[in-house]
Structure 1
Amino acid sequence: MIEAEATFDRTFPFAPHFTDVAGFRMHYVDEGPGDGEPILCLHGEPTWGYLFRNLIPVLSRTHRVVVPDHMGFGKSETPQGRSYWLQDHIDNLERFVLALDLGNITLVMHDFGGPVGMGLAARQPQRIRRIISANGPTPFGQADLVERLTANAQVSPWFQWIARAHAGGVLTGVLGQLGFNILSTLKLNGFENNAIVTDAWLSAYGAPFSEPAECLGAIGWAEGFALGIHRFEQPSPAAIEIIRDKPALAIWGEADRTLQAGHFLPLFSELFPRAPIERLKGVGHYCFEDAPDTLADLIGNFICRS
């Protein structure tokens, strides 16, 4: 767990907030007007709220921007003796949202933040105002979800590595040293903007994983796929009707090597057939790192229009 006040050479200058409502010390950023409409930004693997550092100042001018770190990531605690499956992260997020009594939420989701956020939407559809997916799956009861996940895993270097590492008994050992191999892990998943790689940047992404006991979140997400333990939330017919009428936007970096657009954008289009999709050439899986200004403009303009 990173020190609460760490700013990484002032690249993450946001006041830390903490809650134990989910049974562990959960960190979150809470910027902008307290009575503003909330924007809830959800990171994935193996990142944390730092991913949204360029988005927060832009959106917090007019909105309340809330950015939690999932259990085992960022400045949040990595409790021992707990499981780190998808359903656990959904449980944690729901408790967090209810404790803060967030409503009219704009979801901004990246990577596994997509399944976590859509899990929240399935359970609390009346609290959602907009859906924004950026290189993240939007599973919401689609019949072909498993087939799409399987097809993607066959061509994704990250998921191919998970399968080999698990079969060879080295997955936990390798990811247990994530603080040392964070750069290779991020590059395997796909980011293209090498100019952003500074000592502060590397420290920000490596610091949460300083020892094996701090790597349970990252291990759990990968291991859950290898073992088939993650459970995607199944929305009720009523929840589907509520969510499919929400304004929605998909942003997809086409150089993503982890999540193939051909496998995952149809999940979005099936749920939101009239919603816009912005496809960005030369932008990788970590689109908020590769094209932060473009992402901020697209998201800010969409929120203003909808």
Structure 2
Amino acid sequence: MKTWWQTKFPKGQQNLIINDIDGYPVQIAYGEKGTGRPLMLLHGLGSWSYNWRNSIDTLSAYCRVICFDAKGFGFSEKPIARREKNGHQLIELERIIKELCDQPPIIVAESLGALVALALAAKNPELIGRLVVINAPVFTDKLPHWAMGILAQTPIEIIQSIDALRLPFLFAPLVREIMGIERRKVLFDPSILTEEDVYWITYPFIELPGTLVKVAEDLQLAAKEIENLQANQPNMLTHIQNNLHKLECPTLILWGDQDSWFPAIHGEKLHRYLPNSQLKILNNCYHDASTGAAQVVNTAILEFLQDTGYI
């Protein structure tokens, strides 16, 4: 059976080596399709490149689409022996852009990926040509899902033991069933998520050791950030919010009108913070917009790029 990479990208899965925040080399999996200006697709927490399956063909007709798995997710390397440090995603995204792009790319980013993209656009504006953010957790004050809370509170040693024993693999049918149920809850039309989709969405958790640990580590970092935010202690969320006014890059904000994780009023607030932004509310759309509203998302992205003279 062909892998998803082989069916979607002309060269299949490609690999890139970058140094992470600690200076250690890590392998990043990516695929690319099309020619022209580089357009990078960033997934959210607990997801991987497969989440962009419905956008790659459409966008690659106009751009050189680059779709990569963030460190520890999907098919990218998972440094099990080292604990993650706060802000690692920002450093890693910066290094991936510098390695793969010969000009400032268009960044299209969803959920946590959108938060990281906003942080990078404020810190290094010269690295990003255009920005599209979808359902970004920039004003959140809690973890949005019960399972996230459990993973954030569970000692990492327990998660490591579960992973080492390959329990997700041993109970694969149950893992697929539970994750399929939960992923359908963030879609306006749950029926569009096929069994093949569930297979690939859950594949890294079941087949690739280290995925569950990586998700738990990032969730624990996120929970600590929210705790610091609520206690008025230094935190990256406040830092990002306070620097949004510096972001001059033309930005399109897309937001699901029925996103129960991060409500649409957050999108309206972000629009007010960003001086050079457009806001489009996606009708009948929950949190997973790249799956649940792919056609509308793709059209909005292309119209924005055309309107701002980028394609």
Determine if contact 2:107/2:132 at 8 Å carries over to the other structure: yes
Distance apart, 1:222 and its partner CA: 1.7
Q: Deviations over 1:251-293 (max 9, x none)?
A: 1111212112223541232113x63211122211001111111
Determine if contact 2:244/2:274 at 8 Å carries over to the other structure: no
Moved more, 50-59 or 122-131: 122-131
Matching residue within 166, 189, 195 for 2:191: 195
Q: Deviations over 1:80-139 (max 9, x none)?
A: 1233455111111111111224423211110000122123223321121111111124x5
Percent identity between the two aligned chains = 22
Q: Distance in 2 between matches of 1:30 and 1:182?
A: 28
SS in 2 for 1:109: strand
Q: Superposition pairs for residues 65-144 of structure 1, below 5 Å?
A: 65-85=65-85, 87-137=87-137, 139=138
Name the structure 2 match of 1:249: 252
Q: Superposition pairs for residues 179-218 of structure 1, below 5 Å?
A: 180=175, 181-187=178-184, 190-210=186-206, 213-218=210-215
Matched, 1:149 2:154: no
Q: Which amino acid aligns with 2:301?
A: I
Q: Distance in 1 between matches of 2:5 and 2:126?
A: 37
Q: Deviations over 1:39-79 (max 9, x none)?
A: 11110022111111221111111211111110111121212
Name the structure 1 match of 2:278: 276
Determine if contact 2:264/2:281 at 8 Å carries over to the other structure: no
Moved more, 262-271 or 39-48: 262-271
- Structure 2 CA distance for partners of 1:292 and 1:174, relative to 1, 3 Å: farther
Name the structure 2 match of 1:303: 305
Determine if contact 1:119/1:233 at 8 Å carries over to the other structure: no
Q: Which amino acid aligns with 2:272?
A: S
Determine if contact 2:34/2:60 at 8 Å carries over to the other structure: yes
Matched, 1:18 2:12: no
TM-score (norm 2): 0.78
Name the structure 1 match of 2:270: 267
Q: Distance in 2 between matches of 1:260 and 1:292?
A: 19
Q: Distance in 1 between matches of 2:162 and 2:262?
A: 20
Determine if contact 2:105/2:129 at 8 Å carries over to the other structure: yes
Root-mean-square deviation (CA), in Å?
A: 3.2
SS in 2 for 1:282: coil
Q: Show structure 1 runs of 5+ residues with no match.
A: 140-147
Q: Distance in 2 between matches of 1:278 and 1:175?
A: 42
SS in 2 for 1:108: strand
Q: Which amino acid aligns with 2:200?
A: A
SS in 2 for 1:302: helix
Name the structure 1 match of 2:42: 42
SS in 2 for 1:39: strand
Q: Show structure 2 runs of 5+ residues with no match.
A: 20-24, 227-234
Q: Deviations over 1:127-161 (max 9, x none)?
A: 21111111124x5xxxxxxxx422xx2xx751x55
Determine if contact 1:191/1:290 at 8 Å carries over to the other structure: yes
TM-score (norm 1): 0.79
Q: Distance in 1 between matches of 2:161 and 2:281?
A: 33
Q: Distance in 1 between matches of 2:92 and 2:162?
A: 23
Q: Distance in 2 between matches of 1:8 and 1:32?
A: 15
Name the structure 2 match of 1:231: 236
Q: Distance in 2 between matches of 1:303 and 1:79?
A: 37
Distance apart, 1:21 and its partner CA: 1.5
Higher relative contact order (CA 8 A, sep 6+): 1
Distance apart, 1:234 and its partner CA: 4.6
SS in 2 for 1:83: coil
Matched, 1:6 2:15: no
Name the structure 2 match of 1:145: none
Q: Which amino acid aligns with 1:218?
A: V
Name the structure 2 match of 1:143: none
Moved more, 193-202 or 56-65: 193-202
- Structure 2 CA distance for partners of 1:127 and 1:19, relative to 1, 3 Å: same
